């Protein structure tokens, strides 16, 4: 029984990690059409001040995605601050590698913003997106479950084995003394 508890906790840890990682993954295709734009072309996009947003690009469409220069302004003339994203964390979307280029700061109110990005090396068919930034919380929780569940399972299995072993020893001693 103790071995079964331990094995079950390992499976639970792996399942918890997978569930956590899956909950963090942005379904990048959800907003592609609504926020996609081409380099050198101004695009007016509805932005939500309550979300952590970023600029993304297909990595294959530019030599160095970090060389892209973006500008943005609200309908009121308020400038968007584009903070370079240097995490180096890229992700796959189908056959494309998507690179997080900028985080958008200074979006104090939800509404329409005009954004334009340029780079002399960008291919004309390159596509950029404004999308919600990747949420690392699920991966962190998943990793915690991946480590914690087997540890807890090991402690539980050890306790079960210890209790069962002590009870068997006690029962065996009583039988040898002639008791029930």
The domain segmentation of the chain, as residue ranges, is 2-16+139-177, 26-133
pLDDT of residue 82: 87
Of residues 1 and 90, more confidence is placed in 1
E strands, 33-110, in order: 43-47, 53-58, 69-74, 81-84, 90-93, 96-105
Tell which CATH classification among 2.60.120, 3.40.30, 1.10.1760, 2.30.230 matches the domain 26-133.
Answer: 2.60.120
Of residues 119 and 6, more confidence is placed in 6
Q: What does the alpha-carbon distance between residue 98 and residue 89 come to, in Å, rounded to a whole number?
A: 9
pTM of the model: 0.60
pLDDT of residue 100: 80
The answer on pLDDT for 41 being more than 80 is yes
Q: How confident is the model at residue 114 (pLDDT cuts 50, 70, 90)?
A: very high
114 Cβ contact partners less than 8 Å away, ≥ 6 residues apart: 42, 43, 44, 45, 72, 73, 75
Q: How confident is the model at residue 59 (pLDDT cuts 50, 70, 90)?
A: low
């Amino acid at each position: 029984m103790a071995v079964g508890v331990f094995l079950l906790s390992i499976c639970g840890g792996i399942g918890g990690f997978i569930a956590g990682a899956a909950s963090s993954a942005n379904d990048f295709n959800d907003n592609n059409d609504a926020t996609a734009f081409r380099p050198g072309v101004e695009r007016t996009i509805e932005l939500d001040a309550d979300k952590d947003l970023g600029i993304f690009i297909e990595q294959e469409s530019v030599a160095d995605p970090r060389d892209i220069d973006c500008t943005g302004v609200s309908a009121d003339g308020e400038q968007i601050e584009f903070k370079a994203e240097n995490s180096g964390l890229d992700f796959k979307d189908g056959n494309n590698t998507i690179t997080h280029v900028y985080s958008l700061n200074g979006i104090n109110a939800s509404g329409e913003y005009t954004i334009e990005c340029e780079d002399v090396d960008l291919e004309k068919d390159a596509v950029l997106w404004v999308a919600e930034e990747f949420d690392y919380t699920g991966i962190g929780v998943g990793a915690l479950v991946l480590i914690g569940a087997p540890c807890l399972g090991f402690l539980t299995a050890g306790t079960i084995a210890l209790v069962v072993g002590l009870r068997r020893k006690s029962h065996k001693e009583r039988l040898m003394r002639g008791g029930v």
